Amino acid sequence: MNADLGLIGLAAMGQNLALNFAQKGFRVCVYNRTPEQTRAFLEQAGGEPLCAAYTPEDLVRCLHPPRRLLLMVRAGAAVDEVLEQMVPLLAPGDVVMDGGNSHYAETERRIQALAAHGLFFLGVGISGGTAGARWGPSLMPGGPLEAYAAVEDMLLRIAAIGDAGPCCAYMGRGGAGHFVKMTHNGIEYAIMQGIAEAYDGMRAGLGIPPDAAAEVFERWNQGSLQAYLTELTARVLRHRDRETGEPLVERILDAAEQKGTGRWAAQSALELGIPAPTLTAAVIARTLSFYKADRERIAALLPWPERAPAAPPEEFLADLEDGLNLVVLAAFSQALWLLSEASRQYGYGTDRAEVLRVWRAGCIIRARWIPFLEEILREDPEDPHLLFHPRFLAQVRERLPGAVRALQWALEAGVPMPALSTALDYLQGMRRARLPANLIQAQRDAFGAHTYRRIDRPGVFHTEWSAQGG
């Protein structure tokens, strides 16, 4: 009974987290449903301060009270199956953490279920991939504050270290940790889609090969677009296929897959009544890409003009850079608004500036823009909108003309840019003091007597529009 942490699930993320905890001085007892996986991991890891358990009962016996468990199993039914095994073996005051990409509503259900047994449950968002898990991830824990206090020392010591301290902070009550991680992944989807659109613009508009495109992304990574994903893109574009010697990216099927967190972010925005079109467009683009055979058939039936940009190549690339910056700004704007509304409606108490601080290092969306956005939120933490802040608006205004030119060319050339298009539509809609929604509301009243409000007097009204109305 001397282990500090029990870790269940030894896929790549679980293994690397176990090594991270062990390297930071914690004694970790690992358990996997397949004993062979556990033995192989221990042989590779070299033992101390790692130990193994081969039954749930052995795992619990290995831990000193209050016991701290970290589940690194597939989100969904697997989490409930593990809990069904473990809960009868635990004692009041023990803490169970779920480090997978669980849905926040499931996390809230599990918090309540374990509380009935006197147990604590935390949803811990983890970002950074396998390398982050090993050397320092961004951690987003949420749930009962007492539970976080019991594991805070462990999480802070394994987290990535940014220029503002360890990239771990309490995200709030209930399912806040997993909601924040879900929102993080929505931003991730949007930025990845924006990067892919910029690359498509280079390839389709200027015929730029992958190596040259890598040089462009490397240059962008020296400026405002400095980010892990920009750097990663350059590395991916330079990678050669061992068999053919050609850029490997051009050999990969253009059908992007997804695990669901981006879709959840879009669904949550709709449920909470927050417009997040750029996050949603990124999910739709991935979904559309998966229908490869249909796209090939329609491509033959629906030709499109292929016009090269009229601007010189460097000017066109500058416009694409502006467009990608605008996608990033719009994605963060929409996501932070979503976090504000979720915290309000669900009572999370999430500090969005702390969320951004946690995203400074270790996570997939770490970027130069984050400290700037964090400053804005610390100046005005209550306002849900970045768009009200003059410094944010100044950055948008600076990039707006180039982004518009990039989208105009893309529309003429038949290059789809849904992330850029929705970013611009979002800004256009938010800047309009009057939208045509008055016509929509009139139509709703005309066919369904849904009533409407007027701009010139208070009250709710209904009109019999005409005898010919639907």
Active-site residue set: 181, 188
Q: Are residues 402 and 319 in contact, defined by beta-carbon separation less than 8 angstroms?
A: yes
Amino acid letter, residue 258: Q
Which of these, 114, 39, 42, 112, lies nearest to 71 by C-alpha position?
A: 114
Tokens of 2: 């001397």
Which of these, 415, 436, 197, lies nearest to 321 by C-alpha position?
A: 197
* Bridge partners (DSSP) listed for residue 358: none
